[in-house]
Amino acid sequence: MYICTLFMAYLLHIDTSTDIGSVAVSHNGKLIHSISGVAARNHAGTVNSMISDCLATADITLNDIAAVVVCAGPGSYTGLRIAMATAKGICYALDKPLILNNKLTLLALNQCNKENDDISDFVAAILVAREKEYYMSIYTTNKICIQEPIHTTENDAQDLLKKCQKLHIISDLPEEEFHKMNVVPNVFSADITIDYIFWAAYAYEQFTCQEFVNIAAAAPFYLKQVYTHN
């Protein structure tokens, strides 16, 4: 059982799902400060220093943090494990709760907040997993999830997307590749960067509702099979 002090809810955000990691501190749903790394794929060597720098700028310590929030994927397997291990270490050491967010959900819901109902009816967040394979989630613009985050093939993605009229796609796959699938979004966004201002507000809602995960059982959102070699 965690004792949550809502009027002093500093949250530590960690995202190492992509080549460049980032961390942030928010307070009661408002972004205080964020830092992005400068070295690609060096999360293990930079995440702790970024956390220290971010906390120092916010003029707080780890003891002041009410919870840790992690973008748990999908993304780089190694990056996801580093963020999860870092967050679990803090949570265990300081008896803090852990919140996990899916990047697809963050991208889609952030766009839903901005969407004009006359422009789109659906928002799809789509990230490349490998050639002709994707991670995908679809929401209506009034934030109803019609497709939970999944790993899917190009053919199945095409079938799902064709069912959505007035579609806004957020993706790191070039727009012309969707045209080749006979999927023509009425709006396309290539920016797959998490909006920390939105993430701060979204995570605070989860914090106030105590939507915490079991730390011992918490795992990244790989969404597809992880292959290892003996």
pLDDT digits (tens, 9 = 90+) for 49-94: 999 999 999 999 999 999 999 999 998 888 899 999 999 999 999 9
Q: Please list the residues that pair with 128 across neighbouring strands.
A: 134
Whole-prediction pTM: 0.89
Strands lying side by side in the sheet with 98-101: 30-36, 22-27, 10-15, 65-71, 98-101
Confidence band for 43, pLDDT divided at 50, 70 and 90? low
The residue that leads in pLDDT, 1 or 161, is: 161
Task: Using CA atoms of 49, 51, 56, 57 in order, give the dihedral in degrees to the nearest 10.
Answer: 110
User: What per-residue confidence (pLDDT) applies to 229?
Assistant: 40
User: What per-residue confidence (pLDDT) applies to 76?
Assistant: 85
In angstroms, rounded to a whole number, what is the distance separating the alpha carbons of residues 100 and 73?
9
- What are the tens digits of pLDDT across the range 136-190? 999 999 999 999 999 999 999 999 999 998 999 999 999 999 999 999 999 999 9
SS (H, E, C) 49-85: HHHHHHHHHHCCCHHHEEEEEEECCCCCHHHHHHHHH
Task: Among 106-120, 136-150, 196-210, name the one with the lowest average pLDDT.
Answer: 106-120
pLDDT surpassing 50 at residue 230: no
